[in-house]
């Protein structure tokens, strides 16, 4: 049993973190091969990481025929107090960003959408928070752009990323349907408030 400095053992490698995400989300036991496929690891890499997690008591191992199946040891104190809360909190980070954007800008916009690497799940250090806002007229555009400028420090402090918000009036965006930016938002963007961009452009 390890109860001191357990974080190094649990989260000391990306492989273990991937496995823990998979196992926490699974309602039933999985084979080592299944876990490897779901986590993007090789079969051998998954087994090595699983053995370490089994030793820590965070994962249960059960023989089924000639192979083993693995499941999260949900009654284990380390799982209950550390692993499950951390992974659930991680899953809520994206929702927290969407809420923050919506709370700050939705009332000024006809449409508000998040797009780019954050939506695709491919963000890296240095990635921006890409937002597209559509407003009624030039006056509302000026108001929103001033508000964005004042909130850039807040978003950087809160999410460690630069807020990059592109703002168009209804008239402007209807004349820019073919812009790569607009096409990208229509294809992969997540509408946070108001009407989807595709509806506004009809």
Residue % of the chain over a pLDDT of 90: 82
pLDDT at 3: 57
Percent share of the chain, pLDDT over 70: 98
Do 105 and 196 share a structural domain? yes
Residue 66 has pLDDT above 80, yes or no: yes
Are residue 106 and residue 183 in the same domain, yes or no? yes
Residues 118 and 177 in one domain: yes
- pTM higher than 0.85: no
**Amino acid 2: pLDDT:** 57
Q: Tell me whether residue 142 is in a domain.
A: yes
Which pLDDT value is given to residue 4? 59
Q: Are residues 34 and 115 in the same domain?
A: no
Q: CA torsion angle for 89, 95, 99, 101 (degrees, to 10)?
A: 120
Q: How many distinct structural domains can be found in the chain?
A: 2
Phi, psi for residue 72 in degrees, rounded to 5: -70, 135
Q: Is residue 80 part of a domain?
A: no
Could you report the per-residue pLDDT of 85-103, keeping only the tens digit for each?
999 999 899 999 999 999 9
Q: Is residue 192 part of a domain?
A: yes
Per-residue pLDDT averaged across 177-187, rounded?
90
Domain annotation covers residue 113: yes
Residue 151 within a domain? yes
Residue 171's CATH number: 3.30.460.10
57 within a domain of the structure (yes/no):
yes
Quick check: is 146 in a domain?
Answer: yes
Instruction: Return d(Cα 96, Cα 86) in angstroms, integer.
Output: 15
Residue 18 structural domain: 6-74
Of 74, 103, 122, the last residue of a domain is: 74
Please report the pLDDT score of residue 109 as a whole number: 95
Average pLDDT for 118-133: 93
Number of CB atoms found within 10 A of residue 116's CB: 20
Do 19 and 100 lie in one domain? The reply is: no
- Band of the pLDDT at 8, cuts 50, 70, 90? confident
Q: How far apart are CA 177 and CA 77, in angstroms?
A: 54
Task: Tell me the pLDDT band of 10, cut-offs 50, 70 and 90.
Answer: confident
Quick one: 106 and 196 in the same domain?
yes
> Quick one: pLDDT band at residue 133, thresholds 50, 70, 90?
very high
pLDDT the model gives residue 167:
95
Query: What is the pLDDT of the chain when averaged over all its residues?
Result: 92
105 part of a folded domain: yes
Q: 28 and 118 share a domain?
A: no
């Amino acid at each position: 049993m390890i109860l001191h400095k357990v974080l190094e053992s649990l989260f000391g490698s990306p492989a273990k973190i991937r496995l823990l995400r998979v196992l926490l989300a699974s309602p039933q036991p999985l084979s080592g091969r299944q876990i490897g496929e779901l986590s993007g690891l090789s079969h051998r890499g998954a087994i090595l990481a699983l053995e370490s997690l089994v030793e820590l008591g965070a994962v249960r191992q059960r023989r089924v025929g000639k192979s083993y199946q693995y499941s999260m040891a949900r009654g284990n104190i380390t799982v209950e107090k550390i692993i499950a809360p951390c992974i659930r909190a991680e899953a809520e980070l994206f929702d927290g960003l969407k809420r923050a954007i919506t709370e700050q800008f939705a009332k000024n916009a006809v449409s508000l959408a998040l797009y780019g690497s954050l939506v695709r799940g491919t963000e890296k250090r240095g990635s921006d928070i890409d937002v597209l806002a559509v407003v009624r007229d030039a006056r509302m555009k000026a108001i929103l752009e001033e508000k964005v400028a004042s909130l850039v420090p807040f978003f950087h402090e809160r999410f460690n990323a630069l807020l990059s918000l592109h703002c168009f009036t209804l008239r402007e965006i209807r004349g820019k349907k073919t812009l790569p930016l607009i096409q990208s938002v229509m294809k992969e963007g997540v509408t946070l408030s108001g009407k989807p961009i595709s509806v506004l452009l009809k």
